Structure 1
């Protein structure tokens, strides 16, 4: 039985672009993979046929020969390698190809030119700010140790800025294959370490890497409303790429320090304010601080107890990227006086003797206690 036209196998027209060939191959390979077609006895043969077609059409030289001579271009009579010697349709080779093409892009491990210039790594910097800085926003200067492009070779890795040359071992693929029985083993090229290129005369300043270690001073804009865990991205400020590759990004993680007066909960602030026993009983005005450095007067209702809260609207933290301002909650803590003088003690005893009906919570509690004890006795 004569072989089908390779373009027909992939559902393409002659003259299809490399991207169209790759896209058609992926669709066919996914649809015909034997593992997904256990109920189709012809799936393996069709899968091999698709890989054979793609193996030829993805290579510019093989494709040109096929376009001119057809299948005869790879027969022994044309001076080329026979199908058996070339390994066309070999399942192990087909599986290696389909795995690379289906998952290589996702894993970031495709060979060839894509690996020659590698993107630099992203960096992380932990930055601590005060609550006041988180409220107003600020401008910070940080020193970041990182790899930067070598100025001597302009990041190429070669002395004088010369361009690297294609690796002769892997022909620029960055990896080499070896047939071991039924399997095809693929490994990183030992000559270029997977880069696909080599530097004949490495730069003395960077040793051929194209980058050097250096500390940089960067200005960081801290927007109002940041919280612990807020992440700020500085594009292109990470580690320099290898041999002219693009730089990574710098991620700044914010940590807001604890404050001596205020506790934060999202956009709201809480301030615990101690008040004297007499002020809580009689009521009155107190002055409290606000995060903007100002002061606000708060009226304490007569008979206030510990834990009572009062709200100051608009005195909290701004929401990140707009969205209004939170509130500040004042929480009262009624303070028991200490180190009393003899006269003060005398007055308190006199007050206590006259205050049987002034402590409703105590009266209610001890009434419940009495009921509890009576029920236990009965």
Structure 2
């Protein structure tokens, strides 16, 4: 039976490519060997399912009932007049049945044992300060690497592959079946050599003939300034080595930015909130402010109003362009929050009343559209319960 690739990822058959990608990323986070060493087999199944469903041609094979990762297609019944005429055929076999695999002179031929490797992904936690300055990190990755005993050949020392007796080195075998179309001749990958045209009689004892082994290794990665959540740094040739010693894929380092205690990031812009007492807002003050570049002096002008925003130019995050270069920096937006006291003692109350009298503010009025007027709004509280 064909494998249920949709069920492996937990998506429906009508899932969009974006939904398939999100489902894979969620499962990969849970099952990656670096996170869950006991789930390596599940991780491989999930990765295989994603590789199939993210490829439109392979997904079409699945939707037609075939299995692109199995040489024999879907398997099953006899394909005679009483059964499914295409039972046991993959998509390529169905096309061969209609158009003929050998009509253009020869079949598909043997495929190379040397296959390119897959890309690998690792996630890296970084602080806001590290994202701003860039960093050089040492990472431990678990990938397939070249077998150092057979150097990718897959054979034990002193031996070599031999021609497959079943297919004669062609890598495929033909079969004839009857269907409502008549006699159908199909060509399938040889089940003995799996389409390679040759077999390894004495496989390497270390890699079992695959030409690669899994290994944990340490690499250094340079993270440029200005990276942000979700960005990926590509390390060419640092991914999975392919079977048969094929070229390695790439390794992608995905940034996961930690939330900062003070600053909130919006691209290259930084925002923070500074709370000041109403006396400092009225009289003005100079306050120290810790930024990514060190301590800065924040100049509070006399008469500063609530929700005032001060701009510190060039104190934000580096602007990282698509070419990997930094193009200037963003700004730091300081949002001032004026704090009104909630409790006053008798002396403080008396001083504020004197100030209100001095400024003629004993009877505040309601402002309409920014203009005073509209009658008495409220009176200053007196006696007990002052706040």
TM-score of the two chains, using structure 2 as the length reference:
0.62
Q: What does the per-residue CA deviation read over 1:131-176, in whole Å, with 9 as the maximum and x for residues that have no partner? A: 1111111100010011111112112111117443333333444443
Of the three residues 322, 335, 339, the one matched with 1:335 is 339
Which residue of 2 is the match for residue 260 of structure 1? 261
Aligned to 2:307: 307
Decide whether the 8 Å contact of 2:176 with 2:186 is kept in 1.
Answer: yes
Q: Distance in 2 between matches of 1:255 and 1:138?
A: 14
- Which range moved further: 193-202 or 224-233? 193-202
For residue 185 of structure 1, what is the aligned residue in structure 2?
Answer: 186
Q: Distance in 1 between matches of 2:280 and 2:103?
A: 78
In structure 2, the gaps of 5 or more residues are 1-94, 376-387
Measured in 2, the distance between the counterparts of 1:241 and 1:99 equals 33
Unmatched runs of 5 consecutive residues or more in structure 1 = 1-90, 102-109, 372-378
Contact 2:110 2:172 in 1 (8 A): no
Could you report, residue by residue, the CA deviation over 1:167-217 in whole angstroms, capped at 9, with x for unpaired residues? 333344444332223433343321123344321101111222211121110
Which structure is higher in strand share?
2
Structural mapping, 1:177-326, within 5 Å: 177-181=174-178, 182-292=183-293, 294-320=294-320, 321-326=325-330
Deviations 1:268-314 (A, max 9, x none): 1112111111111222322222112x122222233323322111111
Larger Rg: 1
CA RMSD of aligned residues (A): 3.4
Contact 1:308 1:331 in 2 (8 A): yes
Find out whether 1:119 has 2:131 as its counterpart: no
1:111–1:194 contact (8 Å) kept in structure 2: no
Residues 233 and 279 of structure 1: CA distance in aligned 2, closer, same or farther (over 3 Å): same
**1:363 match: secondary structure:** strand
CA contact (8 A) 1:153 1:203 kept: yes
- Matched residue of 2:279: which SS? helix
Contact 2:366 2:374 in 1 (8 A): no
Residue 129 (str. 1) matches residue 130 (str. 2): no
Give me the whole-angstrom Cα distance separating, in 1, the residues matched to 2:339 and 2:319.
Answer: 34
Q: What is the CA–CA distance in structure 2 between the aligned matches of 1:192 and 1:369, rounded to whole Å? A: 94
Structure 1's 242 and 368: CA in aligned 2 closer, same or farther, altered over 3 A?
Answer: farther
